A and B are shown apart, each in its own frame.
Chain A
Amino acid sequence: MNFKDYYTVLGIDPQADVKAVKAAYKKLAVKYHPDVSKHDDAEAKFKEIGEAYAILSNAKKRAEYDEVRQHHLNRSQRHYAGHAGASGQDWGQQESDPQSDQEFADFFNSIFGARHSGFDPNQQHHGRQPQHAKGQDVEMEFPMFLEETLTDTLKPVSFTLQQRDARGHIVEHPKSLKVNIPAGVSNGERIRLKGQGESGQTKADNGDLYLKIRYAPHPLFDVDGRNLTIVVPVAPGKRY
């Protein structure tokens, strides 16, 4: 389990006041919000930022975290003192791979416990949800050939759902469906498959699965709304 420096995550000084914490969070949240950002790792980054903010904006949790951080700092200093000549990497850079959500969640839960913190780092984005929350919606791009949209088409859909087991670890569940895609679906249109998303807690409903139709490039035609266009090159002065 790796230590996470929430001050580094938010890019603030450990002495920063609540106002500075909030300002740093807002700035980064706007940059990495998954609904706004085009960054590849926006979702992971946003979770990281939300997690840091949830701790550092709460005086009690921040005090607890600072104790853990101080303990880690002291231990790191002892470790480096005992390894003179080792690389000069400072403890703040010892962080794990930022992609590793699970490690991050483990660290978070080990200090505050996911159930009691009011924050679940593996929840989509970082909002708070009641215990009997509906399952998360899942969205995936669904490629189709232009010709396939002319009639109803039965297409296989395979995807992986991420769910938590009894120990709170993320487990992947592969799922396969056959979906009858109605004729005339347009490029970019979303199709909703009710209840096919992630499982809800206890008796809550499952989330939905959204298929975002994406036309595969056609060798001749471009699709412009409901119209097809084709560009025909002509040479000036030549009779056709």
Chain B
Amino acid sequence: MLQINISEQDCWLSSDELCECSDISSALLLELVEHSIAIPLQGDVIEQWQFNVENLHQVKKATRIQRDLALDWSGIGLILQLLDERDQLEHEIHRLKQQLSRFKA
């Protein structure tokens, strides 16, 4: 059975890698960063930017939504922000339900 070790390289992506993996141009990456769809975790200029896997996931999600629903990037940024908030609230509800179940037990 194939064994895979997760290296540091798998956790971080440069701007070029992010563009290649998500099939976007660097100009579009700049626009996505402008709308906070992708948020570089390190670096001051695009050549030094470092992204995590979550950013790659968000960029792919954003480009799919743009392709399928033909929305503008600010609208997509808002959608992603609301989806994120929904996930956090669901997580919070789950956590509170878990706490409550302990009290009942």
Q: Report whether B98 and A217 are in contact in the complex, using a CB–CB cutoff of 8 Å.
A: yes
Q: Report whether B65 and A33 are in contact in the complex, using a CB–CB cutoff of 8 Å.
A: yes
Q: Assuming the A-B contacts A154-B3, A180-B5, A196-B4, are A231 and B102 also in contact, with contact meaning beta carbons closer than 8 angstroms in the complex?
A: yes
Q: Closest approach, in angstroms, between the C-beta of B103 and any C-beta of chain A? A: 7
Which of chain B's residues have a CB closer than 8 A to the CB of A178? 1-4
Q: Report whether B68 and A222 are in contact in the complex, using a CB–CB cutoff of 8 Å.
A: no
Which of chain B's residues have a CB closer than 8 A to the CB of A5? none
Q: Report whether B53 and A35 are in contact in the complex, using a CB–CB cutoff of 8 Å.
A: no
Q: B97 — nearest CB in chain A belongs to which residue? A: A217
Q: Closest approach, in angstroms, between the C-beta of A132 and any C-beta of chain B? A: 12
Interface centre among B3, B4, B53 (most CB of A within 10 A): B4
Which of chain B's residues have a CB closer than 8 A to the CB of A127? 64, 67-68
Q: Report whether A177 and B98 are in contact in the complex, using a CB–CB cutoff of 8 Å.
A: no
The stretch that binds B, out of A71-79, A96-104, A184-192, is A184-192
- Contact partner, B53, options A191, A196, A217, A233, Cβ 8 Å: A191
- Contact partner, A36, options B79, B91, B99, Cβ 8 Å: B79
User: Which A residues are within 8 Å of any B CB, using their own CB?
Assistant: 26, 29-30, 33, 35-36, 46, 50, 125-127, 134, 137, 154, 156, 176-182, 188-194, 196, 208, 210, 217, 222, 224, 231, 233
A-B contacts counted at CB < 8 A amount to: 76
Chain A's interface: helix, strand, loop or mixed, by majority?
Answer: mixed
User: Which B residues are within 8 Å of any A CB, using their own CB?
Assistant: 1-6, 10-11, 21, 23, 53-54, 56-57, 60-61, 64-65, 67-69, 79, 83, 87, 91, 95, 98-99, 102-103
Q: Assuming the A-B contacts A176-B1, A180-B4, A180-B5, are A210 and B53 also in contact, with contact meaning beta carbons closer than 8 angstroms in the complex?
A: yes
- Contact partner, B4, options A33, A193, A222, Cβ 8 Å: A193
Q: Report whether B60 and A137 are in contact in the complex, using a CB–CB cutoff of 8 Å.
A: yes
Name 30 interchain pairs, CB-CB below 8 A, sorted by A: A26-B69, A29-B69, A33-B65, A35-B61, A35-B65, A35-B83, A125-B68, A126-B68, A127-B64, A127-B68, A134-B23, A137-B60, A156-B1, A176-B1, A177-B2, A178-B1, A178-B3, A179-B4, A182-B6, A188-B91, A191-B53, A192-B56, A193-B4, A196-B4, A210-B57, A222-B95, A222-B99, A231-B99, A231-B102, A231-B103
Which of chain B's residues have a CB closer than 8 A to the CB of A46? 68
Which of chain A's residues have a CB closer than 8 A to the CB of B79? 36
Known A137-B60, A188-B91; further 4 A-B contacts with Cβ < 8 A: A29-B68, A35-B83, A193-B4, A193-B6
Complex Cα–Cα for A95 and B5 (A): 47
Q: Report whether A36 and B5 are in contact in the complex, using a CB–CB cutoff of 8 Å.
A: no
- Contact partner, A190, options B57, B65, B87, Cβ 8 Å: B57
Complex Cα–Cα for A180 and B6 (A): 6
Q: Assuming the A-B contacts A35-B65, A127-B67, A222-B98, are A233 and B1 also in contact, with contact meaning beta carbons closer than 8 angstroms in the complex?
A: no
Q: Closest approach, in angstroms, between the C-beta of A196 and any C-beta of chain B? A: 7
